[in-house]
Amino acid sequence: MKVLVSDNLGEIGIEMFRKEENIDVDVKTGLAPDELKDIISGYDALVIRSATKVTEELIEAASRLKVVGRAGIGLDNVDIPAATKQGVVVMNTPGGNVVTTAEHAIAMILSLTRNIPAGTSSLKSGLWNKKKLQGREVYNKTLGLIGFGKIGSIVADRAQGLKMKVIVYDPFVTLELIEKAGLEPVSLEELYSRSDYITIHVPKLKETIGMLNEEAFNRMKDGVMLVNCARGGIVDETDLYNAMKSGKVAGAALDVFESEPPGESPLFEFDRFICTPHLGASTKEAQTNVAVAVAGQIIEYLKNGTILNAVNVPSVTGDLLDKLGPFLTIADRMGCLQAQLIDGPLKEVVIEYRGDFQGLDMSPVSTAVLKGILSSAVKDDVNFVNASVIAKERGIKVLETSSSESEDYINLITIKTITASNTITVAGTIVGKHDPRVVKINNFRLELIPRGHLALIHNIDKPGAIGSIGTVLGEHNINIGRMHVGQEEDGERNIIFLRTDTPFTDEVIECLRSLPLVKTVIPLEL
C-alpha cells in the first residue's frame, strides 16, 4: 500500500509510515493541482495539511484512494461529499493543536497591550520611543469570548490566570455550563458593549462569515482590542480598517485572513495592527501531536480497517456500515436540519427508533444525529468519534428509545430537540433501500429529500399564497427544483419546503417575508 504526503508533515509521522511493513510512503510537497492529479491514482492514502486542495476532480482521478488524513482540524480544503460518494474516508486530528492556538491568542493580547512588535521594530531602527509606546495592563480588564469550544475555554482559563474578567457569548452552549466554569454568559450585544478585548473562537460557517463587520464594530466599546486566531473571513477586513482608522478599534491582531497569504493589506499601515502568518497551530509540540495522530490513524485503517476520527464514516465494521449506511445519511441530515431550526442553546435531544431495524445496533446512527446537530456549532471539531463527548461537555442530555411498533412506516427515526425557548420534532425514514426522506416537522407532514438549497416557509392557507412566492423567486431568477407542501393539522397554515438551484440571498428572503400571506421564512442548507 502506498501513502502520499503532499504537505509538510512532522518527520516523526513520516518515520511511522516508513517503519510499517507493506506500507510505502512518498513525500512530495508543493505539487501543482495538475501534478497531483497525474499521480494520485497510484496511492491508497493521502496525507495533507491546509495547502493541498482535495477537490471533486482530484477524488475522481484517485481510483485507488481509500483515505484522506488531515494533520490538523480544518477541512475547508476537502470536498467531503465527493469523498463520501467515492467511498473515501476523511479523517482529521481534533485536539492536537487546541492548546497551541489558545496560547497564541493570549500572546496576541499581550503583544497588542504592550506594543511589543512596534517596540521591537522602532528599537531596531535606532529609536527610543518610550512615551509613544506606552501600553496598558490586562489586569481587571474585560475579555469577551465569542465561542466557548475547546480553544475558547482554554483562552478563558489562561485569561483568568491574568486576573481578567471573562464574559462569554456562545448561542450553542447552555448558560449553566458557562457559569459552571466560573464565567459570565452574556448576549452578543452585551459582549460588544462591555469588552475591552474581544477574541474569536468560532468555526467559519455561512452564519459567521463577516460576523465582525461595520455594524458590530459600531456596537463595541471605544478603544476595544480585537484578536482573531480562528478562521479568516469571520472579520471583515475592510470594515476593520475603517474601525481602526476612526479609533473605534484601538488595536487588532490577526493570525488568519480572508485570503491567505493576504498580499498587500491596508491594515499593514497601522502600528497598532499586528499579524502572523497563520501560526496558531505552528508549535513543535502541536505539529508533533498531529503528525503522530494522522499517521497512526491511517496506519490503523490501512492495516486493520479501524476508523478513527473520521468526519464522514463511523467507527464500525464494513458489514455493519453497509447495513447502516442509509440510516446514517438520514440521521446526519435530520440533525443538520434540526440545528438550523432550533432557537437557543440545546438542552436535550431525544432520539426515537420505531419499526423494523432488523436488530441493528443503532448507536452509530444516534452519533450521526449528534454530529449533524453539532456541526453547525463546531464544524470540523466534531466527528463520529467525539460527537457524544462534545454533547456531554456542552451539557446536552441525550435520550434514546426504541419500539418495534410503527403505524405508517416500516421504520421511522424521530428526533426531538429541546431548548429553553422551543421544541422541534423532525421525523425521517428510508424509501426503498437507500433514499432518505424527512416526513414530518412538528405537526406538518411532508415528503422532503434532505439535500441542497432549501427554504422553510410558513404561510396562511389561502389562495394566492403559493403563487406570490413563485412570483418573487421568478423575479430574482431563482429556479424551483422541487416544492413540498404540507398542511398543519388544524388546517390554518401550510408549510412549504422549496429546493432551488441556487442559494437564497438576503434580498430574496426579505422579499418573501414581506408577502402578506407569508408568516416566516427560514433559509436552510443541507
Radius of gyration of the chain (CA): 25
Instruction: Report which DSSP code applies to 54.
Output: B
> How many angstroms separate the CA atoms of 351 and 416, rounded?
7
Q: Other CB atoms closer than 10 Å to residue 268's CB: what's the count? A: 12
In a 13 Å sphere around the CA of 221, the CA atoms on its Cβ side amount to 19
The cell for 241 is 480598517
Out of 70, 104, 231, 333, which one is annotated catalytic?
Answer: 231
Catalytic pick among 11, 35, 215, 260: 260
Task: Please tell me the distance from the alpha carbon of residue 87 to that of residue 76, in angstroms, as a whole number.
Answer: 19
49: annotated active-site residue: no
SS3 250: strand
Active site includes 499? no
Give the span between the Cα atoms of 76 and 73, in whole angstroms: 9
- Please name the residue that has the C-alpha cell 466560573: 182
Query: Would you give the end-to-end CA distance of the chain in angstroms?
Result: 35
Grid coordinates representing 285 are: 509540540
70, 104, 278, 493: which is the annotated catalytic residue?
278
Q: Give the 3-state secondary structure of 62-79.
A: CCCCCEEEECCCCCCCEC
Residue 274, strand partner residues: 253
**260 assigned to active site:** yes
- What positions carry a catalytic annotation? 231, 260, 278
